[in-house]
């Protein structure tokens, strides 16, 4: 798919990796729906839109708590009114908080699973209704294969997302190609200590952190290639074979 002139939604693009994806899509001529969750992230989302426009693109800011189906529907009504359709969805929004199996509460489980698996599924379902042909990219994690003991529910949520990825590829073929990317250590969570950062890097084959650009490049590759669907690309410095 040629990105120029296409309509794209990037969830959780007020900052970090989502912002970089939104800006790069704009640079390539897409009109971008910048999504954020709350009033607290509105200023960041507006800043992303500023970068989108500066990159030569256009777009708008859309707010939704994606754990709430009603808010997802309201967001898509707004996107439909503003854009008229959609060609690209990047399911980037995610929560990442620690809890071992024994510490996992129902509230924590629901937060991780609802944000990281249920929300991307329903966002994709609604997005597909706006697409004649399109691309859906899901941001996953190697934790979905190996289940990190300290991030039990998070890992399960990303395992579910990988199943959602394969299932959606079948459900929407041949009209829409659906693929996933599993980033390695790229942008560390703010709460990570130096020790945690070093340990994450040590667990890659390449012994270094990646960059947001590495992830953006994989997103662009999957959008531009029309003969890949149901795939997962690890962009993780070899973390998944360690
Ligand atoms: N960073 C890494 O090195 C790394 C490694 C492995 C995988 N990944 C994956 O790559 C993607 C991007 O990573 P990141 O670190 O840039 O993400 P992030 O900063 O952890 O999260 C991106 C955004 O998701 C939004 N979000 C979370 N839950 C939401 C909900 N229920 N409803 C609406 N928005 C919600 C938040 O928006 P608001 O700020 O508006 O609340 C947040 O800014 C994620 O899917 C992540 O799992 C990243």
DSSP state string for 50-96: HHHHHTT-EEEEEE--TT-HHHHHHHHHHHHHHHS--SEEEE-----
Atom number in ligand 1 closest to CA 64: 33
Q: Tokens in use for 106?
A: 């129902």
**pTM for this one?**
0.98
Query: Is 229 inside any structural domain?
Result: yes
Which of 151, 211, 150 shows the shortest CA–CA distance to 184? Answer: 211
Q: How far is the CA of 185 from the centre of ligand 1 (A)?
A: 13
Query: Is 2 inside any structural domain?
Result: no
Query: Whose Cα sits closest to atom 16 in ligand 1?
Result: 17
H-helix segments, 142-207: 143-146, 152-172, 194-202
* Mean pLDDT score of the chain: 97
The pLDDT, as a whole number, for residue 191 is 87
Query: Is 190 inside any structural domain?
Result: yes
User: The domain that contains 64 carries what CATH number?
Assistant: 3.40.50.720
Query: Is 70 inside any structural domain?
Result: yes
Query: Is 60 inside any structural domain?
Result: yes
Give yes or no for residue 210 CB within 6 A of ligand 1: no
Please report, to the nearest 10 degrees, the dihedral formed by the alpha carbons of residues 166, 172, 176, 179 taken in order: -10
The Cα 75–Cα 73 span in angstroms is: 5
Give yes or no for residue 177 CB within 6 A of ligand 1: no
Query: Whose Cα sits closest to atom 1 in ligand 1?
Result: 187
User: Please, what is the Cα angle at 82 between 65 and 95, to 5 degrees?
Assistant: 20
Q: Which domain holds residue 69?
A: 7-241
The model's pLDDT over 15-46, given as tens digits with 9 standing for 90+, comes to 999 999 999 999 999 999 999 999 999 999 99
Q: How far is the CA of 94 from the centre of ligand 1 (A)?
A: 4
Show which residues are catalytic. Answer: 154
Domain count, the chain: 1
Query: Is 1 inside any structural domain?
Result: no
Q: Tokens in use for 140?
A: 């996953």
Query: Is 35 inside any structural domain?
Result: yes
Query: Is 175 inside any structural domain?
Result: yes
Give yes or no for residue 229 CB within 6 A of ligand 1: no
The model's pLDDT over 172-227, given as tens digits with 9 standing for 90+, comes to 999 999 999 999 999 999 889 999 999 999 999 999 999 999 999 999 999 999 99
The model's pLDDT over 133-161, given as tens digits with 9 standing for 90+, comes to 999 999 999 999 999 999 999 999 999 99
Q: How far is the CA of 230 from the centre of ligand 1 (A)?
A: 22
């Amino acid at each position: 798919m040629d990105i120029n002139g296409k309509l794209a939604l990037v969830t959780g693009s007020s900052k970090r990796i989502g912002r970089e994806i939104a800006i790069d899509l704009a640079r390539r001529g897409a009109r971008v729906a910048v999504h954020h969750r709350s009033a607290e992230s509105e200023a960041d989302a507006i800043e992303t839109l500023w970068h989108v426009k500066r990159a030569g693109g256009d777009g708008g800011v859309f707010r939704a708590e994606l754990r709430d189906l009603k808010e997802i529907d309201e967001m898509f009504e707004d996107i439909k009114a503003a854009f008229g359709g959609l060609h690209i969805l990047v399911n980037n929004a995610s929560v990442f908080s620690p809890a071992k199996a024994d510490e996992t509460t129902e509230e924590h489980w629901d937060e991780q699973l609802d944000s990281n698996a249920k929300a991307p599924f329903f966002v994709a379902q609604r997005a597909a209704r706006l697409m004649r042909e399109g691309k859906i990219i899901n941001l996953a994690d190697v934790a979905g294969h190996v289940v990190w003991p300290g991030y039990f529910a998070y890992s399960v949520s990303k395992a579910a997302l990988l199943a959602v990825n394969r299932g959606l590829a079948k459900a929407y073929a041949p009209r829409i190609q659906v693929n996933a990317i599993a980033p390695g250590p790229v942008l560390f969570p703010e709460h990570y200590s130096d020790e945690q950062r070093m340990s994450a890097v040590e667990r890659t084959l390449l012994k270094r952190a990646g960059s947001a650009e590495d992830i953006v490049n994989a997103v662009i590759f999957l959008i531009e290639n029309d003969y890949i669907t149901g795939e997962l690309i690890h962009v993780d410095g070899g973390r998944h074979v360690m």
